[in-house]
Structure 1
Amino acid sequence: MTSAAATAPVASVRGVSKTFGARKALNGVSVEVAAGEMVALIGPSGSGKSTLLRSITGMQSIDAGDGVIDVFGKTVQKNGRMTGDVRAARVKLGMIFQQFNLVGRLSLFSNVMLGALGRLPGWRGLFGAWPQADKDKAMAALHRVGVSDYAAQRANTLSGGQQQRGAIARAIVQGARAILADEPVASLDPVSARKVMELLVELNQRDGMGVIVTLHQVDYAIRYCKRVVALKAGKVVYDGPSSGLDTPTLIEIYGPEFEDAFWETKA
């Protein structure tokens, strides 16, 4: 990897819009996330957080026009079209979803091994003929996230927190350079949520992975992320240190009921 590639931003979004019917989910959004940075995306429901994350990964096309999205220095969307670099970019991005996105009938180990598919021949995955080095890497990843004891268990028999940690292990096996997590703790109890957030922080600080995480819980954004980007009605209304989220700013983002966005004060 060249030094330029290693230091290229995880994502550079410039003037991006996305329209669904009459609604502008994104309206001229520009934001850049540096290599090795951990950023929280916050905002009310329907503000455009998930649409922005899905656009960065190429799971969602953007409107035609001047909007451009780069991932690790390669343009993945431009003028409303995906480019030829989008598939290669996805391999570098580990996606974590609110509903875990594991194959329920497969073991946790098999789900984690799926992270290796992007760099191995398809027939190996079809027949389960995984190289030993990748098997070892998968078990090491499961151990790291604290669920190696459940490696042989079907994913759909595990708790939400265990499944989400398995999804993080899959991203590790994938060899992702950044993790994009879309409401990764929304379906979890507070204890499991804190464990998942602490794992994301560890991957960011110890492994240098970039992390972009959408959160409904403002207190989690403040606690775990130094930088916060807030969206409202498809526009960026705040981009700065989490310490700057004072009461007037939160009222601007969420309205007078902003305290509803604080999880643990309600628990």
Structure 2
Amino acid sequence: MADQAVLSIRNVSRTFGTRRALDDVSLDVRRGEMIALIGPSGSGKSTLLRSISGLQVIDPGAGVIEAFGAPVQSAGRVSSRVREARIRIGFIFQQFNLVGRLSLFTNVALGSLGRIPFVRGMVGAWPAETSTAVMAALARVGVAEYAAQRANTLSGGQQQRGAIARALVQKAKIILADEPVASLDPVSARKVMEILRDLNRTDGLTLVVTLHQVDYAMRYCDRVVALKAGRIVYDGPAEGLDKDRLIDIYGPEFEDVFWEGAPK
């Protein structure tokens, strides 16, 4: 069903020293949603995203995270079944996380390692099915002509599109994208956001995207979740984010940088 929850976060906290990065956060993500996570720097956006994938361990206690009904972690421990969930969750990092000395093709093919023998992947003996999937994914995001180039010779936008292609080859059902456009110029950033939105609307992929650019969140995502000091302070439609609410989330200084044409 379209409204079925594929991610369930319950009473999750994460403390670093004396700072509570996440403070009793609960959230459901339904199948086929594209959600923007917004909030000031240090509000807990990236910590939440990394916790969902099991890359960050949550505090001991009542906190539970499930994906597709399978446990990711609970009570401060990553589940022994976390690999089941990770196979279906793609993670796109701000800094692309590609291996610079490898070709774009190989970087994208690495997305298939969860489904093929590890040794075959390490020696580059990709099955025909994987090679076909890689080229199809690269074509889908518009960088197929760069397949043979080393990743570190590509622009930031090209590398980020490669990272998206890798998630497609992984056959991810959920894509978690942590500030995927923060390092890109405005044109490349818009292209990446358009690709992500197309994957959501055309392929039905579920996406959770952390963004500093509030205008991008409102333009490309139907649902917005705002964090402030580790707590969810808004969860609703993008059109519900009026100027006063955004100032409450970001502080009075936000008015000074409020973009032209935004809600009044």
| Matched-pair contact (CA < 8 Å) for 1:219–1:264 | no
Counterpart Cα distance in 2 of 1:264 and 1:135: 45
| Matched-pair contact (CA < 8 Å) for 1:217–1:263 | no
Counterparts of residues 84-233 of structure 1 (less than 5 Å): 84-233=80-229
Residue identity in the other structure for 2:76: G
**How much is the aligned-residue C-alpha RMSD, in angstroms?**
1.5
Report deviation, 1:133. 1.4
Counterpart Cα distance in 2 of 1:248 and 1:126: 53
| Matched-pair contact (CA < 8 Å) for 1:219–1:262 | no
Report deviation, 1:8. 4.6
Q: What's the TM-score once normalised by structure 1's chain length?
A: 0.95
| Matched-pair contact (CA < 8 Å) for 1:217–1:262 | no
Residue identity in the other structure for 1:184: P
Counterpart Cα distance in 2 of 1:261 and 1:223: 17
Segments of structure 2 that go 5 or more residues without pairing to the other structure are: none
Report deviation, 1:260. 6.6
Match of 1:14 among 10, 13, 16: 10
Q: What's the TM-score once normalised by structure 2's chain length?
A: 0.96
Report deviation, 1:258. 1.6
Counterpart Cα distance in 2 of 1:230 and 1:238: 5
Counterpart Cα distance in 2 of 1:43 and 1:252: 10
Judge which range, 124-133 or 235-244, deviates more.
124-133
Residue identity in the other structure for 1:34: R
Residue identity in the other structure for 2:232: V
Report deviation, 1:259. 4.5
Equivalent residue, structure 1, for 2:54: 58
Judge which range, 8-17 or 117-126, deviates more.
8-17
Segments of structure 1 that go 5 or more residues without pairing to the other structure are: none
What's the secondary structure of 2:114's corresponding residue?
Answer: helix
Q: 1:260 to 1:135 in 2, by over 3 A?
A: farther
Report deviation, 1:73. 1.1
Aligned length: 261
Residue identity in the other structure for 1:245: L
Equivalent residue, structure 2, for 1:240: 236
Residue identity in the other structure for 1:71: A
Residue identity in the other structure for 1:194: R
Q: 1:225 to 1:38 in 2, by over 3 A?
A: same
Residue identity in the other structure for 1:123: V
Match of 2:74 among 37, 62, 78: 78
Is 1:26 the counterpart of 2:4? The answer is: no
Counterpart Cα distance in 2 of 1:176 and 1:257: 39
Spell out structure 1 runs of 4+ moving beyond 3 A. 259-265
